[in-house]
Structures are given as structure tokens and as C-alpha cells.
Structure 1
Amino acid sequence: MSHHTVSAPVLIIGAGPSGMVSALCLARRGVDCVLIERRPGLENHPKAHELSARSIEILHELGLGHGELSAEASPEEDAAKILFCGTIGEEFGCIDLRANGVGRKYREHLEAPMPYLNLSQVELEKLLRGRVSASPRIQALHHHQWESFEQDAEGVTSRITDRATGETFSVRSQYVICSDGAGSRSRKALGIEMKGPDKLLDVVNAYFQADLRRVVRTRGKLYFIFSPKAPGSVFIAHHVEKRWVFHLPVATPHEKIEEYTPEVMQKKIKAALGRDDVDIEITSMSHWRMTAQVAERFRSGRVFLVGDAAHRFPPTGGLGMNSGIGDAHNLAWKLAMVIERRAAPRLLDSYEAERRPVIETNCDESRLNFERMSEVAEAFGIEVEEAQWVNEKLASSTMRALPAPLRAWTERQVQHYGESILSRYHRDPSVRERVLAAIAQQRSHFDRIGLDLGYTYEEGALLGDGTRPPEVDDRVSSYLPSTRPGARFPHFWLDGNRRQRGSRSMIDYGASILLLGAAVEALPADLEALEHVEARHGVRLFRLGAADIPACHRAAVHALAQIEQDGALLIRPDGHVAWRQQRGVTLSVELIASIVEQVYGV
């Protein structure tokens, strides 16, 4: 047993997406960290698959190019389609996110060529791990397990076990980030409880590799299956030609998870495909419990929770992993500023103040999306609660006690009845109309630009300017750009129709940006001192008057930034607006120092 101690400003527990993004964000700020992960290598079983517009933006800031991210993602046209089916070859309806101007809506507000990516978490983790391995500021220790920590006034001492050798050692850090997943051992050690329902559904899933181009009628990314032979199941096409995940609800406690062997899952997959002639090679299986929970607090002293350690959502909406990436991006620069002594420790209080409202909204929307899926079944005339009761009875000990032939006959009768209900779609135009209307109502489940880009921090590291947030007709699917303090600084083109230089290109995770209108003048006595304001205050000046902006486009740029020619605003390292004065600004060192002190503390 070893008793040596490793020192680093930050220890990160868990090397999933939120943990690795935390490490990369800290490295971008010049802060060293130790990143530990209990797994010896990357997990090959896919989990999340949806990368949001905001996450793409964050990863791009960290150096992951758009081409690199999209290389293993499914084609854009596939990622835009969500199918509702009997079996996968019997389609009832489709949501196409490129239809009705939705794609244009995203393109208007993003510099990235894609508004979202259908990218397996496994593939994303490969990219992130490559960046982590290449960073001299990140000491990544795989096959290492966190055991315990002790906090004091100066820092945290954590005990770590090398799972390969059994040796233990200590990591001494100023702060700890817990990103060790939904079952977070570190969160439990802190005594932080999760609030919200701890069981909505139990699910078994199987990852299999297959080329199903000739099986599906329409290429897409999600296929919701209503066939009574595999009711409530979902196919996720991580890539139609390569990678698929099949999710099947389990009626626990009447059914046992362990009963769903690879052989059983193969039969269920073929039933949901409506084909027996397809070779299914299951690579791995897993099970998970759907919950809708948020931690009662995101911090205990010098220890912070991010990602699934802080919140667990239903997957409906694809908000879980993306929320974790947002957590990491919000927290890391604040830790860095405090460690660098550019900010007071009270800045760290803003992490939970800012992220909790966003997380609670995302949790509520995810649960609502899950519950609203029953509207499609009800449109067929299916009573969802009765159907659940029937499934539970079929899995009950009473049914299991019946002779196998009688049990099989009963199951066939139930399936025939279910198929007769689904057939109403083809026989009754009014049923078809109801089903298509119910499917259309699921659009906000997937069209969520408001949740992706429109969330605004109302309290935290910002100075309100007394203005009200923009009013939208739908907070999920609508977005109005804003530079109101707390909002994400919007994308627009600085060079007009050339479309080569976006407004967010000025944002740098390593500094705050003071955006100055073209007519803002500095106090003559401060001209020399302003040249050193970045070194002293971590604030970089960006003058619209000196930028390469076509003269004919300059007025439009000020309007898009929502300031007058003599206005200014401060953009935080994470790209959110911290302060805004729309007119009447006279630039001085005193003004900058005052803003920085009020926003960040000194």
C-alpha cells in the first residue's frame, strides 16, 4: 500500500463527457487537474446520442472542429427524422425537423453548419479522450477509483485506489468536481439527496451492429414502436448502416431484468423490426432506470456536482448529457478565476444560482416529453393505464404458473387485439387524423432551440440592467436573440453577407470581452492604462469601430448587439453577457474595475 500524495488545483471524479469537458475547460484556462475514471478504458455500450446546438458551440470553443464532430455522426437528413411505427417497416407518421422552416431557424442563429448531431456518446468520448490525452495540464488516471475525501479550510484530500494494483494514494486539491454519473458515490458520501421521482420506468437495452438500410422504409434517428409484440420499445439509429440501440421497457417487479437475455432480446428486436430474416448480432446489453431527479444542492464546501451526478432526466428530449456539458462549461472558468485570484470565492456561489433553474426546467421538460408520448397511443384508442395493467398481468406469477401452451395462447390473443387497435389507423380516417395530430404535437420534444440557446441566467455573476427578458410564444421551440445580462451572446455575422466571421468568434474562454460600440471614447488619462487592462483584470477590449466590419453593415451590427454606437457590454468567458449599458459609455479603467469587482469580486 502506497501513501504518496499527488497535488493539483482540481480533482475531477469521473471521465464521462461532463468530466472530460470540465478538464478541458480548466486546461484552456491554464489550470492543472487530475482526472480519475474507474473504468480501464472507454465503454463501448452507447448511452446518449444527441449533441445540441449549444454543446456543439462549446466543444468548438475547446478545439473540436465541426468536421471532426460530424465524422461519425449520422447524416444530417437522418438526424432530422423521428418515426412513429407499428413495426419499424410500418410507419404511422414522421416528424421532420427540416420541414416548415425549422432548419432555417437554427441556421440563422448558429455559426456551426449543423444545428444538432446524432452522435453516439461513445464516439464523442473517443474525441474528448484524445484531447484530454494530448493536454499536458490534465493527468488522466484510468482504472482508478475514488474512495473518500476530507475537506478543510484550505482544500480537499481525496483517497484514490489504483484498481489494477490495489494501491491507494491521496490527491490534495483546492477543489473537487464530481462527475461520476447517476449513481454518484461521491454525491452519496456528501449526504446530498436527489429530489423527484426515482422510478418512472425500468428499461433493458441492447446495442447491436447492423446495416438496416433495406429494412427501414425511411432513414431516421428514432423509431418509436407501437407493435404489441414489443410495446413501448424504441430503436435509436446511431448510424443506420452501423450502430443501433434497442430499448425495451420492463414491467418490474413482475418481470426480472435478468430474464432479458441476449436470446430474448434478439426475438424482441426481430418482432419490433417485423422481420425474422435479419441477422442481429448483439454486442452488449445494459439496463437503466428512468428517473426525473435533481440534487438538493450542487455544492458541499469545496466539492461541486456536475452532469448526471447532479441531475437525472428521462432521455426524452436529449437534455441530459447536454446539460452536463453546460454545467462543466459554467463551473470551470469560475474555479479558474478563483484559483488565479482574479475573483473572490463568492463567485463560486453563482454556479448553482445559475444552473439550477436551467436544470429544473430541463428536467421538467424531459418528464413532460415522456408523459406526452402516451398521447400517440391514446389517439389509436389505446388506454395506456389498461395496457400497462395487461402487461403486468402477463408477467405476473399467476400467468407464469400456467402451462406454457396456454400462456402462449393468451399472449397471442392479447397481441391480436393490440394489432386490431393499431389497424384502425388504416381503416378509420378519423383515427388516422387523430394519430397524425398527436404525432405532430410531439415536435417540441425534438425542436428545442429555446432550451438550447434561449436560457438566461437571472441571478449569479451578472449585473441586471432593468430590462425584461424577450417574450416568446414557446420557451421550448422559439428563440429571440438577446444581449440582456444573463443571456447567451447571440450569433450574427460581423462581415455581413460575406458570412466568414461570426460575432461569437470574439469570445475567448480565457478572458472576458468588453464589447465597445464604435463611438465609445476613453478618458484621455486612461489610454495607456487601458493597454494593460487584460493583464490586470482579465478583460479584453473589442472595439466595433476598429473591427473589420463593412461600413454599410456597422449600424446593423450595433442593432444586433442591442447597443447604441456609444454603448458597451461585458461578455463572460462562457459567452453569457455579464453587464450591459446600451448608451452613454465613457471608457475608463475605473469603469472596468468597477464592473469586474461587482460581477466577479476581487
Structure 2
Amino acid sequence: MRIDDVPVLVVGGGPVGLSTGLFLAHWGIRPLVIEKRDGISTVPRASTSLRTLEVFRSIGLGPALDELGFEGGPPMRTVFKTSGLGATLQRSGPPARYAAMLESCSPVNSRLILTHDQIQGLALRELRRRDVRFGVRLTGLVPDTDHVRAQVVDVATGEEWQIRAEYVVGADGASSDVREYLGITVPDREVIARLDTAFFRADLGPVLTEWGTHMCFVRNDAVYATLMSKNGRDQWSSHIMDHPGKDRASRLSEPETLALLRAAIGDDTVPIELHTVNAWEAAIGTASSFRNGRVFLAGDAAHVQSSAGGLGMNTGIQDGHNLAWKIAAVLNGQAAPGLLDGYEPERRAAAKASLALSRTLHQGYQSLEGDPDVLYEKIAIAYLRGMMCYAYPPHDTESDVLDDAIRPGRRFPHRWVGSDSTLDLIGSRWTLFAARDLDRWRTAAARLDPQVHALDIDGAVLVRPDGFVAWQGTTEDSLRAHWG
């Protein structure tokens, strides 16, 4: 039987798997990504978060993001209406201090939006075609001490062969085959909502200008649903959360879906091209382990999340970013394998914060009861804590999300240094910031070969390739003891 040898096998060709492959390639490791489906999705499902855009910008894809995306409204701004074209009931968004934080905490345009399919397409375009194999399904997985053997099959031809990899990343979704082969479970899986989501094309005219945002909640006698623009023009999604007869067991038919969408839009005659409608359970839960030896889980394979806010995709992409630089450092001889031990505790802490945001979103949006301003403050805090300001152990205690100070275990904050952002200065390399004596600080961390930049701070700060603060202190001996 044929055996292919690769440094890293990534199972799953969705946005998480393809992004993980892209990050590995950026740090000098050629991956092989396999996907059992025959291509990438063409449906604009989840949308990107600010931190996810930062991650892609850090590997040089900022211009591509600007070219692909569109500008929605101010972050988390929402309009509530009797229908998309009907009367406005109210406009809501985060309190001013949180809105200001969302607008200013990153060099990335906080209104920029890209969708699931665009992220897949971008990652696929940047990866070499021979590094991605569609129509290949995993049929077995055997971890060993110095490698992992994966049994695979070509879905179209039935040809079987083995792939021998030094590491495997399971990014194959909530029903992960990798997780199943490892015997890892999701013991705390909990369904928090049941709803139907439709993706469609319709020309609603200049409705986004009137809304002042890309997100609308509709409540009337026929339907309670969202309308969300996916490209700023004619592509839309709608979470259909309630309607007469919702409790019945059968799925929505196409005529029923179209009728509900027209009720949400407020025009019984508007032409709609329905792409798909999915009945699904919004569930949350965390895998009992994110790792078995040389095999790691990422994305929904590691933590099941609601699609609200694109949390599953965004948290998963950030999993891949965290893991890729660590694997690359080990395979490139820059770090001992023990570096990989940090992946699970770090990403488990991030997933915990993201899952809390999932719950807050669904609890708020399912009922919309109480003061909307109170609800949006809760959502703003949960969003910043779950998507931007989360911290890695042992520094993962809750703190004020508006406190954008430099702290170990947290993302290094954005500051303008002339015309450059500190995040752009970091890029994707080990980086030292210090106010003075730059050469002495560089010598203290010589093993890491960091780039060094002047910044008006006390002492020095060492930042990891993924943009998180690894060390902060005032003496070279302390830096040398930890990282020299």
C-alpha cells in the first residue's frame, strides 16, 4: 500500500482546516490538508471577527482582506423593525465606551466583514494546490511515539493509502472523525436553541443605508427572524427563530421558507433566490481533551459552538493560529516538543470565554426581554472577553475588558507608533519592545532571534509569534532566565 510522508496532516478543509494549513505554510511547514467533500463551500455562512482579521493581517494578507470584504455598520449595531422594509422599533448597540473600544482597539477596520466562503477561498488561493486534497476521507488513525499513521480513501475512486505525519490536526467539525478515532467525547454538550437558517439572494435596494448597519431583527405576527447582509448588496442570511407552527417536527419546505422570508422582508412580491435552508441545533460543549499525543483537535472538533456571531469559525481559526506557530517552532528545531503542551490549556481558556459569549447571545436574542441597553452591555462585555481580550493561563482571571494594558498571557494591544501599529511591527515573529538599551535586551533573548522595537514602556516586553505577551519585566536576567 502506498505511504505518503508529510510533516503535518490537517483533516478538514473548512475555514479552520485551510487556515491552519495556511498558518503552517507561513511559518515554513508544508502541510497536507484533506477534505472528504469535493470542494469548498459556496454559501456565505459565518462572518469574521476583528481578531480573526488581525490574524490574517499578521501574515501579510491585509490588502486581500480589504479587497474581498465589505463594510457593515459600526460593530454590534443592530436595528429592530416590524420588517426589513417596515417601521423601525428601535436601534441598539453597545454603550459608548464599549463601542469606542471596538472601533479603536485594532488597526483593522472594525466594520470590515468577510464570510466563511471568502476565508476558505483566500486560504485555498494562498496554499499550493498540491497541499490540499478534496474528495479524500479519513478511515483510520493510529498515533505512535514518533509519528501518526492515517488511513485514507479517495471518495470517487475507492483507492486507499496511508499518510504518515509527524503531527495531525483534526479540524473536521462538530462530528469529527479524528475525535471519534481518538475516543475523545464531548461530555457537556448542551442544546441551547433550535432554529432554521436560510441563505438567499434578493435585491432589497438601499435598505442598509436606512438601517445604518448590516444586521436587522424582525418581529411581526408571522415571523421572528434576523436579516443579515453577507456582501453589502444582495446576499443574505436569516435565522428564523420563531413563527406559527415552529414546534412541529417537520422541516420547513421551500415554499414555507420563502413565505417567512418575505414576511421578514416586508414585501410579498420580492424575488428571492433561495440557496439553502438548514434546520439545526445551536449547541455548546467542549471536548474532554484537545490532544492525544501527536494529534490535536481544533475548531468545532474541540469545542462545539453556536454559529451566532460566527463564533465557531473564528475561535477555530484562532486555535489553528495558536497551534501552527508552536508546531512550526518544534519541527524547525527552534523549540522542544514541550512547547506544544501549552496548546490545550491556552485554547481551552479561550473556548470557555467564547462559549460564554455563545450562551449570552442566544439567551438575549431568543427572548429580547428587558432593557436592550442592558442586554447590549452584557453582549459587548462577553464579546470583548470572548473574541478579543481573552487571556491564557495562568493569567486567565477575569478583568475589565476596557483595560487595554500590556499584560502577560494577553494579546499585545494595538498602539500607533508613528504610522505603524504595534501589531504590524510584531507581524508573526518573536518581538521585543523596550524603551532603551535595545541591543542588550536582544542579547538576553538571543536564542529566540527576536526583532526589537523601541516603545515607551517600563522595562521590556517579549511577544510571541501569535501576538500574545510571553514575558514582561524590568531586568535582563529575568528575561534570560525565562527565554534566553
TM-score for both structures, normalised by structure 2: 0.90
Structure 1 residue 226 and structure 2 residue 160: aligned? no
2:106 is matched with 110
Correspondence for 2:265 among 248, 253, 273: 273
Residue 282 of structure 1: how far off its partner (Å): 0.8
Structure 1 residue 122 and structure 2 residue 41: aligned? no
Render the CA deviation track for 1:28-51: whole Å, top value 9, x for unaligned: 1111211011121221223212x2
Question: Would the alpha carbon gap of residues 492 and 215 (structure 1) be closer, same or farther in structure 2, given more than 3 Å must change?
Answer: closer
Which letter does structure 1 place at the counterpart of 2:386?
A: L
1:506 is matched with 425
Residue 187 of structure 1: how far off its partner (Å): 1.0
The structure carrying a bigger strand percent of its residues is 2
Which letter does structure 2 place at the counterpart of 1:290?
A: A
2:24 is matched with 26
Residue 241 of structure 1: how far off its partner (Å): 1.9
* In structure 2, distance between residues paired with 1:471 and 1:443: 15
1:542 is matched with 452
1:373 partner SS: helix
Structure 1 residue 308 and structure 2 residue 300: aligned? yes
My pick for the range that moved more, 480-489 or 88-97, is 88-97
User: How do residues 65-464 of structure 1 correspond to structure 2 at under 5 angstroms?
Assistant: 65=62, 67-77=63-73, 81-88=77-84, 89-96=86-93, 100=96, 102-112=98-108, 114-133=109-128, 139-213=131-205, 217-231=210-224, 233-249=225-241, 254-257=248-251, 260-376=252-368, 378=369, 437-438=371-372, 441-445=375-379, 448-459=383-394
Correspondence for 2:10 among 12, 19, 25: 12
2:102 partner SS: helix
* In structure 2, distance between residues paired with 1:204 and 1:274: 19
Question: Would the alpha carbon gap of residues 331 and 70 (structure 1) be closer, same or farther in structure 2, given more than 3 Å must change?
Answer: same
1:490 is matched with 413
2:280 partner SS: strand
Which letter does structure 1 place at the counterpart of 2:476?
A: V
Question: Would the alpha carbon gap of residues 174 and 30 (structure 1) be closer, same or farther in structure 2, given more than 3 Å must change?
Answer: same
Query: Are the counterparts in 2 of residues 79 and 221 from structure 1 also a CA contact under 8 Å?
Result: no
1:77 partner SS: coil
Query: Are the counterparts in 2 of residues 212 and 240 from structure 1 also a CA contact under 8 Å?
Result: no
Residue 253 of structure 1: how far off its partner (Å): 7.3
Residue 508 of structure 1: how far off its partner (Å): 4.1
1:292 partner SS: strand
Which letter does structure 2 place at the counterpart of 1:438?
A: P
Gaps of 5+ in 2: none
Query: Are the counterparts in 1 of residues 23 and 324 from structure 2 also a CA contact under 8 Å?
Result: yes
Query: Are the counterparts in 1 of residues 31 and 131 from structure 2 also a CA contact under 8 Å?
Result: yes
Residue 101 of structure 1: how far off its partner (Å): 5.5
1:362 partner SS: helix
1:585 is matched with 476
* In structure 1, distance between residues paired with 2:311 and 2:295: 24
* In structure 2, distance between residues paired with 1:45 and 1:446: 28
Structure 1 residue 558 and structure 2 residue 472: aligned? no
1:23 partner SS: helix
Query: Are the counterparts in 1 of residues 354 and 387 from structure 2 also a CA contact under 8 Å?
Result: no
1:354 partner SS: helix
* In structure 2, distance between residues paired with 1:109 and 1:16: 28
1:428 is matched with none
* In structure 2, distance between residues paired with 1:63 and 1:128: 12
1:568 is matched with 460
* In structure 1, distance between residues paired with 2:194 and 2:385: 30
RMSD of equivalent CA atoms: 2.8
Question: Would the alpha carbon gap of residues 143 and 79 (structure 1) be closer, same or farther in structure 2, given more than 3 Å must change?
Answer: farther
Render the CA deviation track for 1:490-513: whole Å, top value 9, x for unaligned: 121222xxxx1222233242x422
My pick for the range that moved more, 17-26 or 234-243, is 234-243
Query: Are the counterparts in 2 of residues 518 and 543 from structure 1 also a CA contact under 8 Å?
Result: no
Residue 596 of structure 1: how far off its partner (Å): 2.7
Greater RCO (CA < 8 Å, at least 6 residues apart): 2
Question: Would the alpha carbon gap of residues 238 and 219 (structure 1) be closer, same or farther in structure 2, given more than 3 Å must change?
Answer: farther
Query: Are the counterparts in 1 of residues 152 and 160 from structure 2 also a CA contact under 8 Å?
Result: yes
Question: Would the alpha carbon gap of residues 228 and 336 (structure 1) be closer, same or farther in structure 2, given more than 3 Å must change?
Answer: same
My pick for the range that moved more, 340-349 or 291-300, is 340-349
Residue 79 of structure 1: how far off its partner (Å): 6.3
Residue 214 of structure 1: how far off its partner (Å): 5.4
2:191 partner SS: coil
Identical positions, percent: 27
Query: Are the counterparts in 2 of residues 236 and 246 from structure 1 also a CA contact under 8 Å?
Result: yes
Structure 1 residue 62 and structure 2 residue 49: aligned? no
Question: Would the alpha carbon gap of residues 253 and 211 (structure 1) be closer, same or farther in structure 2, given more than 3 Å must change?
Answer: closer
* In structure 2, distance between residues paired with 1:356 and 1:166: 37
Gaps of 5+ in 1: 380-436, 473-477, 545-556, 598-602
Query: Are the counterparts in 2 of residues 375 and 438 from structure 1 also a CA contact under 8 Å?
Result: no
Number of aligned residues: 479
Correspondence for 1:479 among 402, 410, 424: 402
TM-score for both structures, normalised by structure 1: 0.73
1:157 partner SS: strand
1:196 partner SS: coil
Render the CA deviation track for 1:187-227: whole Å, top value 9, x for unaligned: 12211111334322332222111111256752532222222
* In structure 1, distance between residues paired with 2:307 and 2:215: 12
Render the CA deviation track for 1:267-313: whole Å, top value 9, x for unaligned: 11112222212111112233322101111111111111101111122
* In structure 1, distance between residues paired with 2:132 and 2:335: 27
Which letter does structure 1 place at the counterpart of 2:384?
A: I
Question: Would the alpha carbon gap of residues 289 and 471 (structure 1) be closer, same or farther in structure 2, given more than 3 Å must change?
Answer: closer
Residue 246 of structure 1: how far off its partner (Å): 2.1
Render the CA deviation track for 1:302-356: whole Å, top value 9, x for unaligned: 1111011111222334422111111111111111122223222222111011111
